[in-house]
Structure 1
Amino acid sequence: MIVALIIVCEVAFWVLLAGGLSLRYLAKMPRAGLAVLACEPLLEVVLLAATAIDLKNGAEPDWKHGLAAVYIGFTVAMGHYLIKWADGHFAHRFAGGPRPSGPPKYGMPRTVHEWQTAGRWILAAVIAMALLQGAIWYVGDDGDTGSLRTWQTRMLWVIGINLIIAGSYTVLPKREPGGGASQETPQPPEKSLR
């Protein structure tokens, strides 16, 4: 049941996103579009409640409950960014908005972008770990919480990998081809005839 609900929540996320943006840009109903987009967090609440009810009814905690916590964490941390990204592309495609700029490619702006991305992933992992810990406490000593702890370990890996990636852009920033400087050969200064 939990896996099916995760799939339903994911599909509903994209349906609400498409519906909200369509109302906003195609139907010229920005308030209605915003109202639909504001329903997105309800999906996580429903999934969280269903997972808690499943555990309360005596279900043995397993990988499905861990996956639900991870899904909620990632949706909470990444949802706003995804909506903003989709909004920019939708506005450009259907409402004559400016072309969304991609992430910076070089130098300090790229490093900042990588740390912002890592920050979102780390936030997602921390939220997931907190939800998993809440589930572990909720189940108590009576249940087998090994699968939930395994998911916590995986979230530590997500944090570590993102720190390594962002750190690599700090230590070895991506440079523009050619060093960003002019390719012309410098000319020696002209000698005075005096």
Structure 2
Amino acid sequence: MNLILLLIIGIEIAFWIVIAAGLIVRYVFQMPRLGLFFLALTPVLDLVLLIAASVDLMRGALATTAHAIAAIYIAVSIVFGKQMIRWTDERFRYYIMRQGNKPSKLYGYAYSRKYFKDWLKHVLAYVLGTGLLWIVIFLVNNADRTEALSSIIKLWSLVVGIDLALSITYFIWSSEAKYKEKIHE
């Protein structure tokens, strides 16, 4: 198995361990500063992945899908990281600690707007991630060695387009009616 792929898997596992440790320390042990320290380690994990993937490619490795996924992972983590931590924090507080309000679900126009805002964040992650990939392609300067990166850029472009189409459908076919039916039951 590719070393970079193993590193991505390890960092993803470490990401969730660090978040869980931060939440446990923050709420169970009532140490909010130490909990914040753990939560602040998540960008450090991204930096480790970025350095490892860059060094691997600069040493002459053939770019693989794993290298491209590293760029995607970093971009998504930068753009959605705070939102993912907030989502986890809300659920941990409510379901584990039995504190705070139950996380709410959005329906109808509110859901459509939220999904569209997330699509805009997806576009930002796409710009950052493909920017990293284009930089690597430029630095390696060998189309044969970076073909996997170019392929992922094309695939990700398609995914962003599909995500936009989904976003638009939520405005056209709202779940508002289903929500109103649930309330009246």
TM-score (normalised: structure 1): 0.85
Match of 1:91 in 2: 93
How do 1:92-107 and structure 2 match up within 5 A?
A: 92=94, 93-94=96-97, 96-102=99-105, 104-106=106-108
Match of 2:160 in 1: 159
Q: Does the C-alpha gap of structure 1 residues 176 and 48 become closer, same or farther in structure 2, counting only changes over 3 Å?
A: same
Q: Does the C-alpha gap of structure 1 residues 179 and 95 become closer, same or farther in structure 2, counting only changes over 3 Å?
A: closer
Tell me by how many angstroms 1:82 deviates: 1.0
Unpaired runs of 5+ residues, structure 1, are 184-194
For 1:100 and 1:62, how far apart are their aligned partners in 2? 39
Match of 2:177 in 1: 176
Q: Which amino acid aligns with 1:21?
A: L
Q: Which amino acid aligns with 1:111?
A: S
> Secondary structure of 2:97's match?
helix
Is the Cα–Cα contact under 8 Å of residues 19 and 33 in structure 1 kept in the other structure? yes
Count residues with an aligned counterpart.
Answer: 179
Match of 1:25 in 2: 27
Tell me by how many angstroms 1:178 deviates: 9.3
CA RMSD of aligned residues (A): 1.9
Is the Cα–Cα contact under 8 Å of residues 51 and 68 in structure 1 kept in the other structure? yes
Q: Does the C-alpha gap of structure 1 residues 25 and 149 become closer, same or farther in structure 2, counting only changes over 3 Å?
A: same
Tell me by how many angstroms 1:122 deviates: 2.4
Q: Does the C-alpha gap of structure 1 residues 61 and 82 become closer, same or farther in structure 2, counting only changes over 3 Å?
A: same
Unpaired runs of 5+ residues, structure 2, are none
Tell me by how many angstroms 1:179 deviates: 7.2
Match of 2:80 in 1: 78
1:128 equivalenced with 2:129 (yes/no): yes
Q: Which amino acid aligns with 2:101?
A: P
> Secondary structure of 2:175's match?
coil
Tell me by how many angstroms 1:177 deviates: 4.1
Is the Cα–Cα contact under 8 Å of residues 22 and 33 in structure 1 kept in the other structure? yes
Is the Cα–Cα contact under 8 Å of residues 122 and 162 in structure 1 kept in the other structure? no
Give the % identical residues. 32
Q: Does the C-alpha gap of structure 1 residues 79 and 179 become closer, same or farther in structure 2, counting only changes over 3 Å?
A: closer
Tell me by how many angstroms 1:168 deviates: 1.2
Q: Which amino acid aligns with 1:99?
A: K
Match of 1:191 in 2: none
For 1:80 and 1:13, how far apart are their aligned partners in 2? 12
1:43 equivalenced with 2:18 (yes/no): no
> Secondary structure of 1:118's match?
helix
Tell me by how many angstroms 1:89 deviates: 0.8
Match of 1:114 in 2: 115
